[in-house]
């Protein structure tokens, strides 16, 4: 995404609006629930500042959830992309009438495009936020920001939590810097997934269709809606003007939009690297495989596996040691060549050789000689 201002609001009456389906998502769940809403409302009476990082896989509704919360808070707020040029960020913020002369000079230098250290920038921005309180700054897609911008966000977070009536909220696909209170945005459950679709189309879908979509999208709002649209376009869901009808599609059906998004995330993993070796092994192995098995199949030492898992989390590919979404695993498997899958399957057979129940899952990909298979 480009580094431009995405949304500037001084009240939420003119905030961003999505389609009917996304409006349903807003009523389906809140980011952080009542506790976060309570803390944001506390800013209006100048209670302690807040630095929050909301994270989760692409399409799970992080920014929408935050924007929905901001609409309900009776104070000014500003939402920008995390990569926006600093001059644009300064320009979009309020300019309080009374600021220390040193802060004003720093702001003018930033407006002129001068590069300053993260602490100096953070001091000036924190002063503006404090003088504008109650005020909430929301930076979207922090995972796309360069290290110096992430350093600025961290420095600003430490200052905001020491102020009153101000909040800094960041969203992204990876856990936020340690200066933020981290909160993962959960996917929708079955009930809210059905509510999202019902509001999108204005009618109820057959239960079998709801179950199939939930089984594939796993509660990701973007993937849920994209699956519905694809199924309707290809005739697996149709309406006779009275009811919706359903016929099962191929089990590996995947919307082009979801595929492109996932491929973009996976493209950050260099082919042949230890990150690639670990992610490929995790894609082949059963969910929840233990560390030692992963070490043997990936061919990577234990410490390197742990480092690779951490690196994959920083890229938004993994979350807590597994793929951030089941479709990531599926696309990763699709990207492996036949010889790559064969090598991984043969190594898995070595590991699971004494466990036929697990070993049988790798026989086809391993493409063993008949004599070896019988053995």
The whole-angstrom separation of Cα 316 and Cα 266 is 9
Bridge partners, residue 79, by sequence: 7, 138
For the stretch 124-144, pLDDT in tens is 999 999 999 999 999 999 999
Residue 364, pLDDT score: 87
Query: pTM for the complete prediction?
Result: 0.81
Place of tokens 């500037």: 8
Contacts 24+ apart (CB under 8 A), 113-122: 113/87, 118/148, 118/151, 118/152, 118/154, 118/155, 119/155, 121/86, 121/152, 121/155, 121/156, 122/152, 122/155, 122/156, 122/158, 122/159
Residue 34, pLDDT score: 64
Q: What residues have CB less than 8 Å from 228, skipping those under 6 apart?
A: 197, 200, 201, 205, 213, 237
Handedness of CA 298, 303, 305, 311 (dihedral sign): negative
Ramachandran sector of residue 37 (left: φ over 0; alpha: ψ -120 to 50; beta: rest)? alpha
Ramachandran sector of residue 285 (left: φ over 0; alpha: ψ -120 to 50; beta: rest)? beta
Residue 3, pLDDT score: 40
Which 8-state DSSP code applies to residue 273?
S
Residue 33, pLDDT score: 59
Note whether 185 and 172 are within 8 A (CB): no
For the stretch 63-116, pLDDT in tens is 888 888 888 888 899 999 999 999 999 999 999 988 999 999 999 999 999 999
The whole-angstrom separation of Cα 72 and Cα 48 is 19
The whole-angstrom separation of Cα 165 and Cα 364 is 61
Structure token pair of residue 151: 């350093």
Which 8-state DSSP code applies to residue 287?
T
How high is the mean pLDDT in each 10-residue block of the chain (375 residues)? 38 33 44 66 77 93 87 90 96 93 96 94 96 94 95 97 93 94 92 94 95 96 96 96 94 93 95 96 93 94 95 92 94 95 92 84 81 48
Note whether 55 and 174 are within 8 A (CB): yes
Residue 38, pLDDT score: 75
């Amino acid at each position: 995404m480009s580094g431009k201002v995405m949304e500037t609001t001084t009240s939420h009456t003119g905030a961003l609006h999505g389609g009917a389906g996304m409006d349903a998502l807003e009523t389906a769940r809140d980011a952080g629930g009542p506790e976060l809403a309570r803390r944001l409302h506390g800013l209006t009476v100048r209670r302690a500042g807040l630095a929050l990082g909301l994270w989760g896989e692409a399409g799970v509704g992080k920014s929408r959830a935050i924007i929905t919360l901001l609409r309900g808070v009776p104070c000014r707020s500003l939402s920008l992309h995390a990569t926006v040029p600093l001059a644009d960020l300064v320009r979009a913020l309020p300019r309080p009438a009374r600021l220390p002369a040193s802060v004003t000079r720093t702001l003018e230098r930033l407006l002129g495009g001068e590069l300053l250290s993260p602490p100096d920038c953070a001091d000036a921005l924190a002063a503006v936020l404090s003088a504008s309180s109650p005020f909430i700054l929301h930076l979207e897609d922090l995972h796309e920001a360069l290290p110096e911008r992430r350093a600025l966000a961290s420095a600003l977070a430490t200052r905001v939590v020491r102020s009153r009536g101000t909040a800094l909220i960041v969203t992204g696909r990876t856990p936020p810097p340690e200066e933020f209170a981290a909160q993962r945005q959960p996917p929708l459950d079955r009930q809210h997934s059905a509510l999202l679709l019902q509001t999108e189309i204005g009618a109820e879908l057959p239960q079998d269709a709801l179950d199939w979509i939930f089984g594939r999208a796993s509660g990701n709002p973007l993937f849920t809606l994209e699956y519905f649209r694809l199924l309707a376009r290809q005739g697996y869901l149709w309406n006779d003007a009275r009811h919706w009808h359903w016929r099962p599609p191929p089990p590996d059906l995947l919307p082009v939009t979801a595929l492109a998004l996932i491929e973009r995330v996976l493209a950050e993993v260099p082919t042949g690297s230890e990150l690639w070796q670990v992610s490929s092994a995790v894609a082949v192995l059963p969910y929840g495989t233990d560390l030692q098995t992963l070490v043997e199949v990936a061919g990577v030492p234990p410490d390197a596996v742990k480092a690779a898992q951490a690196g994959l989390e920083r890229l938004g590919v993994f979350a807590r040691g597994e793929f951030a979404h089941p479709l990531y695993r599926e696309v990763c498997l699709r990207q492996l060549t036949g010889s790559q899958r064969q090598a991984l399957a043969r190594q898995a057979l070595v590991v699971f050789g004494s466990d036929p129940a697990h070993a049988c899952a790798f026989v086809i990909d391993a493409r063993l000689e008949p004599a070896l298979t019988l053995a």
